[in-house]
């Protein structure tokens, strides 16, 4: 009887880490199914791996680019509207298109 409780707790623990790892991977723009498997097999180590993987900018900011004309902030590498003069993420001034064309 006690060994069956141990396996139930172990299975619930594995599912908890699997869902947590998949959630982190989804937020950071990575494959959710692979992250689920990683979290299920490796538990907390899979979650740590998912947390420290670099953010996939092309997946996380793709809908923003489709919303209208955007450009990339040179400081924080975030997409901002074309007409913006200040980056909404880092607060730095964005160069005008005339300055970009002149290479200043």
Domain edges within the chain: 2-56, 61-102
Q: What is the reported pLDDT for 63? A: 56
Rounded CA-CA distance 103/42 in Å is 49
Name beta bridge partners: 93: 86
What's the pLDDT tens digit per position in 2-35?
788 999 999 999 999 999 999 999 888 889 999 9
Task: Look at residue 36 in the predicted model and tell me its pLDDT.
Answer: 94
For residue 89, what pLDDT is reported? 87
pLDDT the model gives residue 15 = 94
**Cα dist from 89 to 6, 55, 60, 73, whole Å:** 47, 16, 15, 9
Dist CA 92 CA 95 (whole Å): 10
Answer for the pair 38, 21: CB distance below 8 angstroms, yes or no. Answer: yes
Task: Give the model's pLDDT for residue 61.
Answer: 64
Helix, strand, coil fractions of the chain, as percent rounded to 5: 60, 10, 35
Distance CA 11, CA 43 (A): 11
pLDDT digits (tens, 9 = 90+) for 38-95: 999 999 999 999 889 888 877 666 655 565 788 888 888 888 888 888 988 898 998 8
């Amino acid at each position: 009887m006690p060994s069956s409780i141990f396996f139930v707790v172990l299975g619930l623990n594995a599912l908890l880490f699997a869902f947590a790892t998949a959630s982190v991977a989804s937020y950071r723009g990575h494959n959710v199914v692979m992250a689920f498997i990683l979290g299920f097999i490796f538990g907390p180590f899979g979650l740590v791996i998912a947390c420290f993987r670099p953010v996939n900018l092309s997946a996380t900011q793709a809908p923003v680019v489709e919303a209208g004309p955007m450009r990339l902030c040179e400081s924080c590498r975030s997409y901002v509207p074309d007409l913006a003069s200040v980056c909404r993420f880092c607060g730095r001034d964005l160069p005008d298109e005339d300055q970009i064309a002149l290479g200043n």
